[in-house]
């Protein structure tokens, strides 16, 4: 049902994943397990979402073989010191109740702190130690990624960034693609912002008899991105995964890309200055 991208480290990753922000506790775990049952094989979590245990439980309860699931977590900004980072990764693994994490990302570069290269060294060593399979980043600008390569020789396989119709990240996508980095799209539905009701999108959705959300997610796929929409509801979970039996034309993709805005970020979280701990 789902197609895959091949990461630059050789591993495959589903082209669509489930965001899990705010899915927590027993109820959250049940909703994530339901997503696994309808076909999701990529789950996005983070130390700071405080739900690695919730996701791990869903994975264990689902009956889906562990090696078919890509479980993602992220390093919090307060853990960029090498030792703190390594211990946080060990803690993430323990919280999940799993033996390893498939994909571990630095959550934010926090450039004023200037410790993201140190954090990256901890991810590299955690990968060597078998705690995590693939390593990457979130919210990294080209200059941040360049420094990782210059100072460690190792590029991330994923860069997860804010990406939706009001903020299409054309330059970042181009940079990531030139470096064989897959760009994951967070808030791919703009967290239900007004873009979902834009006339251009509604018009295209009528042509294909699809929802506006499906048109947005298909547009992201055709840009070469990997969306991770969050939904706790089964019908939307199925809807957000049902993207592989239709194609937008090049003109439609280009038209949707005109919706982007200079200030289109949902919450003005510009990684050049924004910091999160």
Ligand X SMILES: NC(=O)c1ccc[n+]([C@@H]2O[C@H](COP(=O)([O-])OP(=O)(O)OC[C@H]3O[C@@H](n4cnc5c(N)ncnc54)[C@H](OP(=O)(O)O)[C@@H]3O)[C@@H](O)[C@H]2O)c1
Question: Looking at the annotation, which residues are catalytic?
Answer: 49
Query: Measured between alpha carbons, how far is 153 from 21 in angstroms, rounded to an integer?
Result: 32
Residue 14 β-bridge partners: 4
Of residues 180-209, those binding ligand X (CB under 6 A)? 186-192
For the chain, list the strands marked E by DSSP.
4-6, 12-14, 18-19, 42-44, 70-75, 101-106, 132-138, 158-162, 182-186, 226-227
106 touches ligand X (CB under 6 A): no
User: How far from the centroid of its chain's Cα atoms is residue 271's Cα?
Assistant: 16
Nearer CB in complex with ligand X: 101/189: 189
Nearer CB in complex with ligand X: 24/121: 24
Binder to ligand X among 233, 257, 261, 272 (CB under 6 A)?
233
Binder to ligand X among 48, 134, 160, 168 (CB under 6 A)?
160
138 touches ligand X (CB under 6 A): yes
Query: Measured between alpha carbons, how far is 154 from 143 in angstroms, rounded to an integer?
Result: 14
- Cβ atoms of residues 44 and 17 within 8 Å: yes
28 touches ligand X (CB under 6 A): no
Residue 185 β-bridge partners: 161, 227
Binder to ligand X among 44, 102, 198, 252 (CB under 6 A)?
44
Nearer CB in complex with ligand X: 96/240: 240
Q: In sequence order, what are the residues at sequence separation of 6 or more whose Cβ sits closer than 8 angstroms to the Cβ of residue 43? A: 17, 18, 20, 32, 35, 36, 55, 58, 59, 69, 70, 71, 72
Binder to ligand X among 19, 109, 136, 156 (CB under 6 A)?
19
Nearer CB in complex with ligand X: 19/115: 19
Of residues 68-87, those binding ligand X (CB under 6 A)? none
CB of 119 to ligand X, least distance (A): 14
List of residues contacting ligand X (CB under 6 A): 19-21, 44, 107, 138-139, 160, 186-192, 211, 213, 228-233, 236, 239-240
């Amino acid at each position: 049902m789902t197609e895959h991208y091949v990461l630059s480290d050789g591993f495959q990753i589903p082209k669509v994943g489930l965001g899990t922000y705010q899915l927590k506790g027993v109820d959250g775990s049940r909703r994530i397990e339901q997503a696994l049952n309808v076909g999701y094989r990529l789950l996005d979590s983070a130390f700071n979402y405080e739900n690695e245990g919730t996701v791990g439980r869903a994975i264990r309860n689902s009956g889906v073989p562990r090696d078919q699931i890509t479980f993602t977590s992220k390093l919090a900004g307060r853990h960029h010191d090498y030792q703190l980072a390594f211990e946080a990764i060990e803690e993430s693994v323990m919280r999940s109740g799993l033996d390893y994490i498939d994909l571990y990302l630095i959550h934010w570069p926090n450039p004023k702190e200037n410790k993201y290269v140190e954090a990256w060294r901890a991810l590299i060593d955690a990968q060597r130690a078998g705690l995590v399979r693939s390593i990457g980043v979130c919210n990294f600008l080209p200059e941040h990624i360049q420094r990782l390569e210059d100072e460690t020789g190792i590029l991330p396989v994923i860069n997860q960034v804010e990406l939706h119709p009001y903020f299409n990240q054309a330059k970042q996508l181009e940079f990531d693609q030139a470096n064989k980095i897959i760009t994951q799209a967070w808030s791919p539905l703009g967290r239900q912002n007004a873009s979902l009701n834009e006339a251009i999108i509604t018009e295209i959705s009528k042509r294909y008899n699809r929802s506006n959300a499906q048109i947005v997610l298909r547009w992201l796929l055709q840009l070469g991105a990997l969306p991770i929409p969050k939904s706790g509801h089964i019908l939307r979970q199925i809807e957000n995964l049902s993207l592989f039996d239709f194609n937008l034309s090049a003109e439609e993709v280009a038209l949707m890309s005109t919706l982007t805005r200079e200030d289109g970020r949902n919450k003005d979280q510009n990684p050049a200055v924004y910091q999160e701990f």
